[in-house]
């Protein structure tokens, strides 16, 4: 009898059986690291000019605290949330306690005797407890009468001769696949008795891992459409157990009811080689000429967006109609335009070039069609220095002439130097306080302006 149930990828999977020598090797490596770190906790805080070491300690502490904070409240039940947070706290303990010892030694004047002892005491305590190794919930695999010895391997599972249930039929298909090696598919459950969609747990022999299989191979094992069968890690479990999901009809039904923008993002951009592979769409906004999609990366990834791949996935011939903005960490915005937003930029007027109270002027347009504002003067710092770089014909000279006009309108003194003998900005000649022509005049103008700045 198939059971209708939905899998929980955060379920606690029990202790992980590994050979005893592997646990000892992990513990020795962790103890060696603690010994080295304890020496650093004793020496580095005494060196006032060792700023890289101070910043590294601060970064490790901040990262451990941020990671631990993110683990708070994760889990389906109160028990799983509590156990998960305790495991996370156990892993973060060496970093946070070591940072506390480092900070104590750093801010204490002089070198009292206990500063030489606390680093050693920390290393001994961490080495004896090995909190990170213990937090992995490893259990030694020892030879017994009912278990294989260290030199033996677990027996390969035997497929049923005649499957009596739907789950046994799918398990038999997995067992018969060459790509599945010695693993077996267990705990097969249906999402819905009226649909063929199911999920199960793939288990490898002790000490081995479930192989990573691509979408085509997984679909071929069960004779299902490519992309409808997925194999992923189970949170809280090692690579010896993975969650297998097969959703040939549920995903199609959900996609038909999905918002068009979400459907296009998932089907075209979030797929492999779609330009936003594996990313998540968290929201979007429609405008007359633009669709802006807010994208977030999964917790264990950085944001990855490819402009040309996104344009090709959407059928665009001009990649400049797709604009990307990211924070380099986990968030980004994809702007897709129907027509190029910068083709109808009007010329600036005198009112545009008059400074606002914040020292900015209106100049050009933003990619979303809003008026762009450029800083001309900082009320706190004074005049602003900008650098304009672009290919020939990009509009550098027009931009500079517009800025010179804005400076004159607002009473700012303009000092101009043209290394091309005045040919780049001929319109500025005679309309600014000083205009240097040629390489020598440019060098002299820059030197004089620098000296004037120092004098003031």
Interval 314-335: pLDDT, tens: 999 999 899 899 998 999 999 9
| DSSP structure class, residue 4 | B
User: Is 71 contained in some domain?
Assistant: yes
Same-domain status, 126 and 26: yes
Q: The domain containing residue 327 runs over which residues? A: 263-334
Same-domain status, 94 and 26: yes
Same-domain status, 108 and 75: yes
Tell me the three state secondary structure of residue 423. coil
- Is the pLDDT at 185 greater than 80? The verdict is yes
Same-domain status, 187 and 77: no
Compute and round to an integer the Cα radius of gyration of the chain. 32
Q: Residue 141: in which H helix or E strand, if any?
A: strand 138-141
pLDDT digit string (tens) for 339-359? 887 777 788 888 988 998 888
User: Is 347 contained in some domain?
Assistant: no
User: Is 328 contained in some domain?
Assistant: yes
Same-domain status, 306 and 395: no
User: Is 312 contained in some domain?
Assistant: yes
User: Is 201 contained in some domain?
Assistant: yes
Q: How far apart (Å, rounded) are the C-alpha atoms in residues 157 and 184?
A: 6
- Indicate the number of domains in the chain: 4
Same-domain status, 66 and 171: no
pLDDT of the residue at 201: 92
pLDDT digit string (tens) for 1-10? 444 555 544 4
Q: How far apart (Å, rounded) are the C-alpha atoms in residues 404 and 418?
A: 14
Instruction: Classify strands 415-418 and 434-437 as parallel, antiparallel or unpaired.
Output: parallel
CATH of the domain at 212: 3.30.70
Same-domain status, 245 and 268: no
User: Is 346 contained in some domain?
Assistant: no
Final residue of a structural domain among 297, 312, 334:
334
Same-domain status, 125 and 176: no
Q: In 44-149, where does DSSP find H-type helix?
A: 51-70, 78-107, 114-129, 131-135
Final residue of a structural domain among 141, 174, 202:
141
Final residue of a structural domain among 251, 275, 304:
251
Same-domain status, 407 and 441: yes
């Amino acid at each position: 009898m198939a059971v209708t149930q939905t899998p929980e990828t955060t379920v606690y999977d029990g202790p992980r059986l590994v050979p005893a020598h592997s646990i000892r090797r992990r513990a020795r490596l962790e103890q060696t690291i603690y010994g080295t770190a304890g020496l650093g906790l004793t020496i580095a805080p005494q060196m006032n000019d060792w700023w890289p070491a101070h910043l590294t300690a601060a970064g490790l502490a901040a990262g451990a605290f941020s990671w631990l904070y993110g683990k708070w409240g994760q889990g389906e039940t109160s028990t799983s949330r509590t156990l998960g947070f305790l495991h996370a706290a156990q892993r973060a303990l060496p970093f946070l306690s070591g940072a506390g010892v480092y900070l104590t030694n750093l801010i204490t004047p002089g070198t009292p005797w206990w500063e030489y002892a606390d680093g050693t005491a920390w290393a001994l305590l961490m080495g004896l407890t090995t909190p990170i190794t213990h937090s992995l919930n490893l259990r030694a695999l020892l030879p017994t009468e009912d278990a294989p010895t260290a030199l033996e391997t677990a027996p390969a599972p035997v497929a049923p001769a005649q499957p009596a249930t739907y789950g046994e039929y799918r398990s038999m298909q997995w067992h018969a696949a060459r790509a599945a090696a010695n693993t077996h598919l267990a705990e097969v459950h249906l999402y819905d008795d009226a649909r063929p969609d199911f999920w199960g747990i793939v288990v490898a022999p002790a000490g081995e891992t479930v192989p990573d299989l691509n979408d085509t191979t997984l679909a071929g094992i069960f004779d299902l459409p490519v992309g409808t069968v997925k194999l992923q890690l189970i949170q809280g479990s090692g690579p010896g157990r993975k969650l297998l999901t097969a959703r040939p009809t549920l995903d199609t039904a959900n996609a038909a009811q999905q918002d068009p923008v979400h459907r296009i993002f998932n089907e075209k951009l979030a797929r492999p080689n779609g330009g936003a592979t594996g990313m998540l769409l968290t929201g979007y906004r429609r405008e007359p000429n633009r669709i802006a999609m807010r994208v977030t990366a999964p917790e264990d990834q950085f944001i990855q967006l490819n402009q040309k791949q996104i344009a090709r996935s959407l059928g665009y011939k001009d990649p400049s109609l797709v604009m990307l903005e990211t924070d380099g960490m986990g968030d980004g915005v994809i702007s897709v335009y129907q027509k190029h937003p910068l083709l109808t930029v009007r010329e600036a007027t005198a009112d545009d070039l008059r400074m606002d109270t914040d020292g900015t002027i209106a100049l050009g347009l933003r990619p979303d069609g809003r008026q762009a504002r450029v800083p001309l003067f900082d009320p706190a710092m004074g005049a602003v220095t900008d650098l304009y770089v672009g290919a020939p014909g990009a509009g550098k000279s027009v931009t500079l002439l517009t800025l010179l006009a804005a400076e004159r309108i607002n009473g700012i003194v303009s000092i101009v130097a043209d290394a091309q003998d005045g040919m780049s900005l001929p319109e500025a000649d005679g309309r600014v306080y000083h205009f240097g022509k040629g390489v020598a005049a440019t060098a002299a103008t820059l030197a004089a302006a620098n000296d004037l700045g120092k004098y003031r």
